[in-house]
Structure 1
Amino acid sequence: MDTRPRRRTILCASGRQHTGIWAIDFADKFPGCEVIGTDISPIQPGWVPPNLKFEIEDCNQEWTFPSESFDYVHLRYLVGCIPDWTELFSQAYKTLKPGGWVESFEISPTAESDDGTVTYDSAMAQWGRIFVEASKKIGNSFTVVDDKVQRPALQEAGFVDIHEWEFKCPLNPWPKDPKLKEIGRFGEVFLTQDTEGFVTLAANLLGWSMEEVYVYIAKFRREVRNRKHHVYIRLRAVWARKPETKEEPTPA
């Protein structure tokens, strides 16, 4: 009989991760861990691993979980949704056991290239500007990665032992490296299959007509699918630990 304590994990905004697939994969990989996926919408699948359950929870409100009851909190793809990142991480801090870990994984809206193939007047470059302008309307930033928000907000919330990892994610299979080329294939599918879902709300906030939206989407898809465009976006994961004791120092 395994007498080790059962680990508990919260995966916030799991519905934004393709209807809970990341939470399902995590629960499958760690069957000895109790996993709770949260989102504000009940859009997750009916069948899930026995160690996973989904709950309706707004991460911008006071979290309903008991204090010091979880070992790991994972937050993913929350850009454009969070008015106060320090408060979000403070909620995670309260929920974690001493010594527990939080991880924040976010994405930049800015399409870039290192060789000038993403030009200022392209639809790819306009993509990021659309979300920046929309953020001014709703008051929630889409440029969390660009502005390096995660690390200082985690520190302000009281976390220590802060680490980060950044990755240039190709958006089509332009790289020569086989692994990056495969990632680029997924990136292209990710952006071009549901471009409307990404851009329509932001464009509506800016007063675009649906005709303007469709014209832009067609141009964007055409550019992304052109292998001459060496386009990528930045991903950043930042993870940190809750101190074991209140006396433990909190270095950056």
Structure 2
Amino acid sequence: GLFYETVGSSAFTFPKENGRTYHAYQEGKYLMPNDEKEQDRMDMIYHSISLMFEGKLFFAPVKNPQRIADMATGTGIWAMDVGDQYKAAEVIGIDLSPIQPNWVPPNVQFRVDDIDKDWMFEHPLDLIHSRISSGLAIRDWPRYLAECYKALKPGGWVEAQEFSVSMGCEDDSLPPNSMIKRWHEEANRTFTAAGCDLRFEGETLRKQMIEAGFVNCEVREYRWPMGPWHEEQRLKDAGAFAMMSMLTDMEAISLASMTRYGGWQMDELKVFLKSVKKEWRMKSIKAYWPLYVVYGQKPEERT
């Protein structure tokens, strides 16, 4: 089993702002809501990335994992999928909010905790996984990697699946005064002001893994379509889910950061977001995000 701080009922009383609810545990720390609309958005992102990775849950060459941790598990969907796939493994999902379902595979458990604090795992882990956490749940990668190194057994793996909020375009289909481009600039400006860097570089993390003592560190890079423009059906569907997640709840990503840190008024922000969404629906724009998988191994003990 794992030893973690258990949190009282106060973790379930979520604070409200701009009509949205946010995490109660470590209140104000995490800029994204945790209500049902946001949970739907997280699940769409999950399906989109599953299509990008062709259903593969992780890429690190872990042999028969016994203990797996999913950091910043969100709705817990990855933890449950990995628990289904590796029925003999013990899976633990950690998040700031208890928003995971009650019905879970018997080998999966969830804990409310802050991964920025010192970790206390009773037994060493074979795999530590995180997805779409950079700049949000994980702001200090060197510190996070040091904690991973301590928590892993020799020969265990850490894997991060992250994207960068910096858009690329396959061609010149982006309008000159692109609203999507402006939204990315605003998101980066305001999240950075809040102490969260949403731009991510796979090679940078690989180097940080090496500095933290990991070996066999690898980076895989993908172009994650931001809409259903790709010819290949799998990538077209991945883009459709990604676009739906943005259109369903662009407010989730924008409200807290842009009103708290960007000087936006609520009414002008809503008008701006409406024009961003209108452009996002244009199938002619071949925009994408860089998506990375970075993994590394704690060295085996020498015998």
Provide the residue aligned with 1:85 in structure 2.
Answer: 141
Provide the residue aligned with 2:227 in structure 1.
Answer: 172
Provide the residue aligned with 2:98 in structure 1.
Answer: 42
Contact 2:226 2:288 in 1 (8 A): yes
Query: What does residue range 1-252 of structure 1 map to in structure 2 within 5 Å?
Result: 7-15=66-74, 19-66=75-122, 69-81=124-136, 82-119=138-175, 121-145=177-201, 148-204=203-259, 205-245=261-301
Question: Any idea what SS the aligned residue of 1:194 has?
Answer: helix
Q: Measure how far apart 1:144 and its partner are.
A: 1.9
Q: Measure how far apart 1:79 and its partner are.
A: 2.1
Q: Measure how far apart 1:94 and its partner are.
A: 0.4
Of 46-55 and 175-184, deviating more is 175-184
Given residue 243 of structure 1, which amino acid in structure 2 is its aligned partner? P
TM-score w.r.t. structure 1 length?
0.88
Q: Measure how far apart 1:245 and its partner are.
A: 2.8
Distance, in Å, in 2 between the alignment partners of 1:45 and 1:13 is 15
1:215-236 deviations in Å (ceiling 9; x for gaps):
1221121111111111111111
Of 91-100 and 105-114, deviating more is 105-114
Contact 1:171 1:185 in 2 (8 A): yes
**5+ residue gaps in structure 2?**
1-63
Q: Measure how far apart 1:103 and its partner are.
A: 0.1
Q: Measure how far apart 1:246 and its partner are.
A: 7.1
Q: Measure how far apart 1:6 and its partner are.
A: 6.9
Distance, in Å, in 2 between the alignment partners of 1:14 and 1:120 is 38
Distance, in Å, in 1 between the alignment partners of 2:258 and 2:290 is 22
Distance, in Å, in 2 between the alignment partners of 1:213 and 1:29 is 43
Contact 2:66 2:90 in 1 (8 A): yes
Distance, in Å, in 2 between the alignment partners of 1:93 and 1:120 is 46
Q: Measure how far apart 1:40 and its partner are.
A: 1.2
Given residue 151 of structure 2, which amino acid in structure 1 is its aligned partner? T
Given residue 78 of structure 1, which amino acid in structure 2 is its aligned partner? S
Distance, in Å, in 2 between the alignment partners of 1:137 and 1:173 is 32
Distance, in Å, in 2 between the alignment partners of 1:211 and 1:246 is 62
Contact 1:109 1:233 in 2 (8 A): yes
Contact 1:112 1:125 in 2 (8 A): no
Contact 1:119 1:125 in 2 (8 A): no
Distance, in Å, in 1 between the alignment partners of 2:173 and 2:267 is 27
Given residue 66 of structure 2, which amino acid in structure 1 is its aligned partner? R
Distance, in Å, in 2 between the alignment partners of 1:220 and 1:129 is 12
**5+ residue gaps in structure 1?**
248-252
- Equivalent residue pairs, number: 239
Q: Measure how far apart 1:168 and its partner are.
A: 0.6
Distance 1:231 1:98, change over 3 A: same
Distance, in Å, in 1 between the alignment partners of 2:302 and 2:182 is 46
Contact 2:203 2:219 in 1 (8 A): no
Contact 2:165 2:200 in 1 (8 A): no
Of 200-209 and 76-85, deviating more is 76-85
Distance, in Å, in 1 between the alignment partners of 2:181 and 2:196 is 21
Q: Measure how far apart 1:193 and its partner are.
A: 0.9
